[in-house]
Structure 1
Amino acid sequence: MKKIIVSVTNDLSTDQRVDKVCATLQKEGYEIILIGRKLKNSTPLNRSYSTKRIKLIFNKGFLFYTEFNFRLFIVLLFSKKDILLSNDLDTLLPNYLVSNLQKKNIVYDSHELFPEIPELVHKPFVKKCWSTLETWILPKLKNTYTVCNSIADFYDKKYNSKFKTILNLPTKKELEFGSFPFKTEGKKIIIYQGAVNIGRGLELMIDTMEFLDNCILVIIGNGDLYEDLTQKVKNNNKIHFLGKISPKELHKLTPLANLGLSIEEDLGLNYRFALPNKIFDYVQAEIPILVSDLPEMKQVVQNYKVGEIVKKRNSKELALQIEKILKKDFSTELKSAKKELIWENQEEKLLTIFNNLM
């Protein structure tokens, strides 16, 4: 049985893409060990494959990346393995070095255009460091895949690579219904799930709620803007922040909504090419979606007719558009789309990469 070591920099608990990849590979007969980091608030894991969390002294900035990459390098170097699976640029260096030193196959999954993330816009030196690392290693990799066609095309043109596309789709699930910890009777529920960070359109949506009657905005997730935004809406009973919850809990809350949001701003290539997994979670929950006028998101709406594209990014106009969407019926299109947009339809492509390593 071939052993694959999979590495990420997060704490493993909410990374659904990596969990799905590991489960698919294990089902195919590979032995899996998933490595991430341990945080103070990390929740216990119950996975069918092995996991390892690295406890660090530093948990942010340059020192975090330096410490994690060094410790990951040591773990990879002295662990038995046949294949290394690196997730994103921030785990690539130790995986690449060990693969070269020990002549092991390496596979790379790029979840985003890492040097183009908005957090690096005002950090040109840091961005340059990540870009240099990417330019050095990526052209040398033969087994690569990513989350959407736009990113695959970008890398193929830039590095003459051959990225495959493995969409970050949810697994097939039956609808389950939970309940929100607040009253929702007679209200339309608008939901956002994901990182509460810059560029997610949350400030715009919060302002838009002023012009929407009988609606509640539910924001599920955590991130850099969480404290600021929760303070901003402290006494606003139309807006509720639920923080970070488990995927299992989220699965029961999403179907309660009437509209799902993915209204990211165009803050560079990383957001422009984004195809957030929450879009597909909304579809699986059979709720219509409102997305930004960005290529990958827009294509889902146009292809499957499961929602609308934001027409104007100002609060009054957006409120009017949302009011109209909430009166429409997308149920037939959603039921059709959810049959196709599932992880099970991506598994064969993923296994082809690992079963035919170059």
Structure 2
Amino acid sequence: MTEKALVLSFSDLRIDARVNRQIDFLLKLKKEVTVIAFNPPKTTIKTFIPISPPSRSFFNKVKMFFYLIFRKYEKIYFEKPEIKEILSFNLNNFDLVIANDIETLPIALKIKKNAILLFDAHEYAPKQFESNFYWKLTRQAFKSYLSKKYIKEAHRVTTVSEPIARQYQEFCSIKKPTVITNAPGFRNLAPSKVNSQKIRLVHHGFCDQTRKIEDMISLFFLLEDRFALDFFLLSNNKKYLDKLKRLASKNNRIRFLEPVPFSKLPEALNSYDIGLYLQPKSSFNALNSLPNKFFDFIQARLALAISPSLQMAELIRKYKNGRVSLDFSKESFAKMLNDLKVEEIEDMKNNSNLAAKELSELNNFKIMKELLAENGS
């Protein structure tokens, strides 16, 4: 009999590569998959149950503010419209429930019945946006409460990197979560040739102010003329994107191109030379996560140029497929790039090629299969 799996997500599945890969894993394991989310996944599944995107009225915002002040965290959670909506569903029994991110976990525990519950934490929720003062003031205690109370109730826990797994282990007093990285599927590509007169850099991802993408634009005013940069940015903040384009308009070596579906990114990036990721030293997650773009650059057979984020730096030093700046300043980053020779870039691209299979989703699928096989599911 085919086992039934439910996937819960409050992210945008049109652009959430991790949850889509998760669904693909379940289908490869011959599960019958139901998804509850705001929009459908990329892959065809048995059942999709849509929920309405959050719409906070002024009254609700005021009410939630007072709940926060008086630490009524259970009321904050279970009075959310999307949570009430899920509770109203007449759901079948499932063998497996996967809850993505901390805000799906309490409702997953409510509806799972006898199912095995896997909680995919993604990144570290209690410090999710710690560089944002308003978030720290209004949301951090709530996220910490949910993490401390509910994660220990999950049968399995996964996250994106070892330091985040250790942090959850310590904070929640649980067995160390299993690491499932953000690696995409293996692509059978070859490194492209480097043109010494035009070294092509690329950055893709979500256009968010906390990521300080303007720093990458400022960086280009410190680089030699042989470097050019293309952005592929997803955005729901037109004002910020327009600001970035105005800043870049002063440098004809920077372009903004239409975003590419995440499933086609490695092929779209393959003609570039260096995957660029200059980030601020802003948060625990920024320092310790392994983002999708890191693995996309490797599948595209690019050299990588990154700030000294601990987990990415560790892998780059292991595989010798990139450079890590000495610190988080633009000046340090510019010197690192300006010092590069074409032969070094070609060597790093070739090393990404050698690492591509090992750093693909093939290993994650094996880990996930073994994890779900423990005591059933």
Q: Same fold (TM over 0.5)?
A: yes
Cα shift readout 1:105-154 (whole Å, capped 9, x = no counterpart) = 21100111123122654331222112111111112223111111111111
Map 1:226-265 onto structure 2 (within 5 A).
226-265=241-280
State the aligned residue count: 346
Shift of 1:269: 1.4
Map 1:121-200 onto structure 2 (within 5 A).
121-123=133-135, 124-162=137-175, 163-175=177-189, 186-200=197-211
Q: Give the one of 273, 288, 292 matched to 1:273.
A: 288
Q: State the superposition RMSD in angstroms.
A: 2.9
AA aligned opposite 2:207: V
AA aligned opposite 1:242: L
Contact kept? 2:95, 2:114, Cα under 8 Å: no
Unmatched 5+ residue regions in structure 2? 65-76
Q: Say whether residues 1:219 and 2:219 are aligned partners.
A: no
CA distance in 1: counterparts of 2:202 and 2:276, whole angstroms: 6
Cα shift readout 1:306-340 (whole Å, capped 9, x = no counterpart) = 10111243334422211233521313322211121
Contact kept? 2:54, 2:82, Cα under 8 Å: no
> 3-state DSSP class of the match of 2:188?
coil
Residues 57, 161 of structure 1: CA spacing in aligned structure 2 closer, same or farther, 3 A cutoff? closer
Residues 57, 270 of structure 1: CA spacing in aligned structure 2 closer, same or farther, 3 A cutoff? closer
Q: Say whether residues 1:203 and 2:214 are aligned partners.
A: yes
> 3-state DSSP class of the match of 1:9?
coil
Q: Say whether residues 1:351 and 2:373 are aligned partners.
A: no
Residues 352, 249 of structure 1: CA spacing in aligned structure 2 closer, same or farther, 3 A cutoff? closer
Shift of 1:357: 4.4
Cα shift readout 1:64-105 (whole Å, capped 9, x = no counterpart) = 982223323334x52442221001112112112223xx2332
Shift of 1:7: 1.3
Q: Say whether residues 1:58 and 2:70 are aligned partners.
A: no
Contact kept? 1:177, 1:252, Cα under 8 Å: no
> 3-state DSSP class of the match of 2:297?
helix
> 3-state DSSP class of the match of 2:174?
coil
CA distance in 1: counterparts of 2:313 and 2:108, whole angstroms: 35
The residue aligned with 1:309 is: 324
More displaced stretch, 341-350 vs 208-217: 208-217
Contact kept? 2:307, 2:328, Cα under 8 Å: no
- TM-score, reference length from structure 2: 0.82
AA aligned opposite 1:258: D
The residue aligned with 1:98 is: 111
Moved over 6 A (4+): 59-65
> 3-state DSSP class of the match of 1:339?
coil
Q: Say whether residues 1:72 and 2:90 are aligned partners.
A: no
AA aligned opposite 1:54: I
Cα shift readout 1:274-304 (whole Å, capped 9, x = no counterpart) = 1112111111111111122122111111111
AA aligned opposite 1:97: K
More displaced stretch, 318-327 vs 106-115: 318-327
Shift of 1:60: 11
AA aligned opposite 2:143: W
CA distance in 2: counterparts of 1:284 and 1:175, whole angstroms: 8
Shift of 1:235: 4.9
Shift of 1:341: 0.7
AA aligned opposite 1:336: L
The residue aligned with 1:181 is: none
Contact kept? 2:211, 2:279, Cα under 8 Å: yes
> 3-state DSSP class of the match of 2:30?
coil
More displaced stretch, 226-235 vs 252-261: 226-235
Contact kept? 1:258, 1:326, Cα under 8 Å: no
Residues 323, 59 of structure 1: CA spacing in aligned structure 2 closer, same or farther, 3 A cutoff? farther
Q: Say whether residues 1:334 and 2:347 are aligned partners.
A: no
Cα shift readout 1:236-259 (whole Å, capped 9, x = no counterpart) = 422222354312442332112111
CA distance in 2: counterparts of 1:283 and 1:59, whole angstroms: 40
Cα shift readout 1:22-71 (whole Å, capped 9, x = no counterpart) = 11222212111222214xxx9x9453554343343628998798222332
The residue aligned with 2:73 is: none
The structure with more radius of gyration: 2
CA distance in 2: counterparts of 1:59 and 1:281, whole angstroms: 35
CA distance in 1: counterparts of 2:111 and 2:23, whole angstroms: 20
More displaced stretch, 63-72 vs 275-284: 63-72
Give aligned-pair identity as a percent: 21
Shift of 1:351: 1.3
More displaced stretch, 224-233 vs 146-155: 224-233
Residues 45, 335 of structure 1: CA spacing in aligned structure 2 closer, same or farther, 3 A cutoff? closer
CA distance in 2: counterparts of 1:17 and 1:196, whole angstroms: 18
- TM-score, reference length from structure 1: 0.86
Shift of 1:186: 5.0
